[in-house]
């Protein structure tokens, strides 16, 4: 394998790109259990601009699922494991370059769809291989979207306008986070392994499957590097830590990768050029957090991080510890923790001064000042917000037409957003 070096600053400065004429920069908030996306201002008061029904085809999809015993089994399995007893209707989302549509992965429906922001209708639908779709990434030019197919160990790369597959590649077990680097030349995937089993004791770590980072050429989709963090963690003297790489954040020059791992209240710093772990930061434990690892959602302890545009500060979502903090990347000194209700994600806002976290337990999003670590705004959204992404909508846009996602009931009592 060749060593992948990162050139350019696509990961750290994507939000700073000029807003295209006729469009408004916004934040899309995916309300996973509800099947909607709230659209809010990307800065300032984060006022709501509108809402999108991300499952306008819900009854059609449920009909297909209930007529196929295998699909139904996986559908119910997603509900009872990753969904915490709820269906997962919207995970990740990005808008098209012209701002006319939002493209989203829908785990329970095992697909990716494009929703027209004027009509609320489905433009196209791509069923992923296997039975669950997950995290996505958009290429720096906005033309392609990569999606993890959890149960088939595959990443599909799609044309964002048409939904046509332009390529795919295999990964480790349970592909999760995806990131384009070097101006879109490379695509990184982090496979997290089995996170829904009860075998969470450290001595049972070997049961969690093949966890690795796969880096591919984003044009040919050939693997150019595989990184097994087990060896790197062991070399650093932390064989106690899981090698399941969760959310990540690259430095602006893409030379440093910060990442969270399963069960750990903190993060790891990795130097891309030397292929070594350089520092590990442990963050405070909330004394109220249940120490039983099997109670932590999908093997997470902390799940969600973003980095300021200048690379000086990280924003960390302390998911199971119910707090958020920012960390100086030079000293690794954190700001005092700020209470938050099961924060599940962290995204840089429109002007780069704040990070926006999803408080999934409170059905809110909150803005955190990078410099002070203080919460400066909180906005109510839908049921169980998870992913928050910057995007664009036409100027004056005020939501899509259409019924509430739960209108019309469910089939056989199995299609509700909760159980």
Categorize the per-residue pLDDT at 402 as very low, low, confident or very high, splitting at 50, 70 and 90: confident
For residues 65-89, average pLDDT = 96
Categorize the per-residue pLDDT at 122 as very low, low, confident or very high, splitting at 50, 70 and 90: very high
For residues 333-352, average pLDDT = 98
- pLDDT, tens only, 28-76: 999 999 999 999 999 999 999 999 999 999 999 999 999 999 999 999 9
155 with 166: CB under 8 angstroms? no
Element (H, E) at 231: helix 229-235
Q: Is the pLDDT higher at 19 or at 281?
A: 281
For residues 363-379, average pLDDT = 98
Categorize the per-residue pLDDT at 404 as very low, low, confident or very high, splitting at 50, 70 and 90: confident
pLDDT value of residue 417? 40
pLDDT value of residue 240? 95
Nearest C-alpha neighbor of 215 from the set 241, 177, 252, 249: 177
Distance CA(320)–CA(305), nearest Å, equals 14
Question: Per DSSP, which regions of 98-255 are E strands?
Answer: 101-106, 111-116, 122-127, 133-138, 144-149, 154-159, 165-170, 175-181, 186-191, 213-217, 223-227, 245-250
- pLDDT, tens only, 218-268: 999 999 999 999 999 999 999 999 999 999 999 999 999 999 999 999 999
**Residue spans per domain, the chain:** 25-394
175-181 and 364-369 as β-strands: parallel, antiparallel, unpaired? unpaired
- pLDDT, tens only, 169-220: 999 999 999 999 999 999 999 999 999 999 999 999 889 999 999 999 999 9
- pLDDT, tens only, 279-319: 999 999 999 999 999 999 999 999 999 999 999 999 999 99
Tokens in use for 52? 């999108």
pLDDT value of residue 18? 83
Asked if the 25-394 domain carries CATH number 3.30.70.270, the reply is no
323-328 and 186-191 as β-strands: parallel, antiparallel, unpaired? unpaired
Query: Angle between the 58-66 and 69-80 helix axes, to the nearest 10 degrees?
Result: 120
pTM of the model: 0.94
74 with 150: CB under 8 angstroms? no
Q: Is the pLDDT higher at 329 or at 407?
A: 329
């Amino acid at each position: 394998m060749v060593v992948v070096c990162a050139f350019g600053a696509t990961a750290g400065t994507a939000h700073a790109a000029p807003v295209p004429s006729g469009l408004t920069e916004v934040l899309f908030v995916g309300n996973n259990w509800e099947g909607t996306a709230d659209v809010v201002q990307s800065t300032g008061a984060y006022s709501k601009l509108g809402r999108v029904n991300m499952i306008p085809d819900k009854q059609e999809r449920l009909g297909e699922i209930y007529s196929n015993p295998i699909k139904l089994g996986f559908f119910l399995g997603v509900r009872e494991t990753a969904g915490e007893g709820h269906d997962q209707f919207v995970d990740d989302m990005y808008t098209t370059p012209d701002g006319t549509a939002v493209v989203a992965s829908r785990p329970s429906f095992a697909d990716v769809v494009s929703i027209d922001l004027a009509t609320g209708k489905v433009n196209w639908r791509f069923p992923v291989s296997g039975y669950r779709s997950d995290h996505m990434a958009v290429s720096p030019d906005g033309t392609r979207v990569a999606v993890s197919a959890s149960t088939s160990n595959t990443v599909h790369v799609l044309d964002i306008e048409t939904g046509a597959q332009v390529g795919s590649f295999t990964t480790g077990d349970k592909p999760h986070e995806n990131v384009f680097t070097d101006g879109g030349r490379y695509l990184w995937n982090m496979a997290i392994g089995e996170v829904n089993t009860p075998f969470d004791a450290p001595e049972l770590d070997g049961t969690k499957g093949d966890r690795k980072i796969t880096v591919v050429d984003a044009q040919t989709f050939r693997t150019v590097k595989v990184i097994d963090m087990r060896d790197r963690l062991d070399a650093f003297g932390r064989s106690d830590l899981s090698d399941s790489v969760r959310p990540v954040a690259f430095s602006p020059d893409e030379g440093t990768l910060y990442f969270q791992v399963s069960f750990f209240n903190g993060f790891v710093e990795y130097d891309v050029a030397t292929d070594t772990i350089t520092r590990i930061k442990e963050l405070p434990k909330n004394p109220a957090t249940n120490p039983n690892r099997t109670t932590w959602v999908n093997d997470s302890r902390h799940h969600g991080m973003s980095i300021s545009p200048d690379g000086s500060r990280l924003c960390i979502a302390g998911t199971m510890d119910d707090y958020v903090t920012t960390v100086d990347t030079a000293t690794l000194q954190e700001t005092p923790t700020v209470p938050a209700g099961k924060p599940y994600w962290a995204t840089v806002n429109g002007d780069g001064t704040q990070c926006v976290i999803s408080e999934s337990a409170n059905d809110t999003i909150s803005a955190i000042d990078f410099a002070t670590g203080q919460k400066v705004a909180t906005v109510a959204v839908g049921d169980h917000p998870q992913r928050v992404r910057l995007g664009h909508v036409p100027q004056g846009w005020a939501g899509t037409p259409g019924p509430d996602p739960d209108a019309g009931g469910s089939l056989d009592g199995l299609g509700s957003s909760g159980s």
